[in-house]
Amino acid sequence: MESIMNSVVIFTEVFLYVNFAILMGSLIVQVVPNTSKPTILTSKFLLTGSALLIPVLSLFPILETTFILGNGIGFMPVFTNILSSFEVGKAWTFTLILTVVLLVLFLTVDVTKNKTGTVLAIGLTVLLVFTTGYAGHASSITNWSGFFAHSFHFLGVVVWTGVVGVVAWFSRTTTGDQWNNFVRWFTPLAITCLVVLIVAGFFTMKIDINSYENADAPWYDEYRNSLVINYGQALLIKHLLFIPLLVFAFINSFIIKKRVKAASYNPIKWLRAESVFILFVLVATAYMGNDYPPHQVDNLIETSGASPLFNLFHTQAIQTPVLVSLQLSLVQYVLFGLAVVSAVSMIILARKEVKPTLSLLLGILFVLTTYVALMTGLNA
């Protein structure tokens, strides 16, 4: 039952991220002039539905905790105690209040036509992003640094991926000038979001993987040691997926930018390919958010054992204290070389105007070859 509930929470977490992205992306493109964006088919119903789902989806982790702690005590006493005493419960209460305010705004103002209402809705959505950051793991173990790091990381994600996702899946026939003008303003916005989410994500990661067993350990040692458990595996896969995602972002921001000047060119397929990798990254992120962080790797190994993914490559028992090292041989260098060729080929194919499906497969190949190279080179 517990594993089923955990799977449900991961699924709802992914849906929550997607929902946030749709809401934020839809609102941002609303404030952009029609001449500077493709024709977007969003509606007041979509915005209202996205807002309504935020407190519903963010409630599932609280329900999971309630079921775990409420065994033999009762659901409602534990549920109300979590809402009043736990940080995640307080964050959800703020989320519910902000969502009600946002829904009232949507019901009283047509934000698809009223720019002032749209800006107010964006502000409320940003506050919802920060309440989500307040409920995060990094926020719970630091005073303020984890809260701000997690919140700005999440904000950078939903702004960038939101615009990409909305334009990729809700846009229709558009002139070349509209695409050209869209790329012109979105490229600097995307670069800014990437810088924010990478910097904030790094500090969030340092907090999440901080070792309680060795407080003086550098973050890269903690990262390596975390690879023996599920959280570390998900973190590694997320980072590997992020690299081809950056390649797609480069293609859409610079290579496609030259091509959209032609009135007949439509880059929507490339944006959709980018959004596929965005979804992969969100799945890995959701898994991490619902697993034990590697603060006490030795204790996790002794109680739960190593990650099944780690055991695919290493059959020997892991000794504690865990000390993971990386030793590369010819096999690993060949795999890394294949990964580099895959990434470079993605750019070459984009320049040659080959359909993005092959680049999508090459991005997956990059992740697989790099992952296998790293895992086979580890010693624990």
What residues make up the domain containing 71? 2-208
298 falls within a domain: no
100 falls within a domain: yes
pLDDT tens figures, 253-277? 888 777 776 656 678 888 999 999 9
For the chain, how many structural domains are there in total? 1
pLDDT tens figures, 211-258? 887 777 888 899 999 999 999 999 999 999 999 999 999 998 888 777
215 falls within a domain: no
150 falls within a domain: yes
Whole-model pTM above 0.85? yes
CB-based contact 37:75 (threshold 8 Å)? no
User: Quick one: pLDDT at residue 175?
Assistant: 62
252 falls within a domain: no
DSSP code of residue 40: B
Task: Tell me how many degrees the CA angle 190-105-133 measures, rounded to the nearest 5.
Answer: 45
Residues of the chain with pLDDT under 70: 1-3, 72, 173-176, 261-265
Q: Is the peptide bond before 77 cis (omega within 30 degrees of 0)?
A: no
136 falls within a domain: yes
- Residue position matching structure tokens 């964050």: 91
342 falls within a domain: no
Count of CB atoms situated within 10 Å of the CB of 44:
14
- Three-state DSSP class for 144? coil
- Please give the torsion angle defined by the CA atoms of residues 232, 238, 240 and 245, in that order, rounded to the nearest 10 degrees: -170
42 falls within a domain: yes
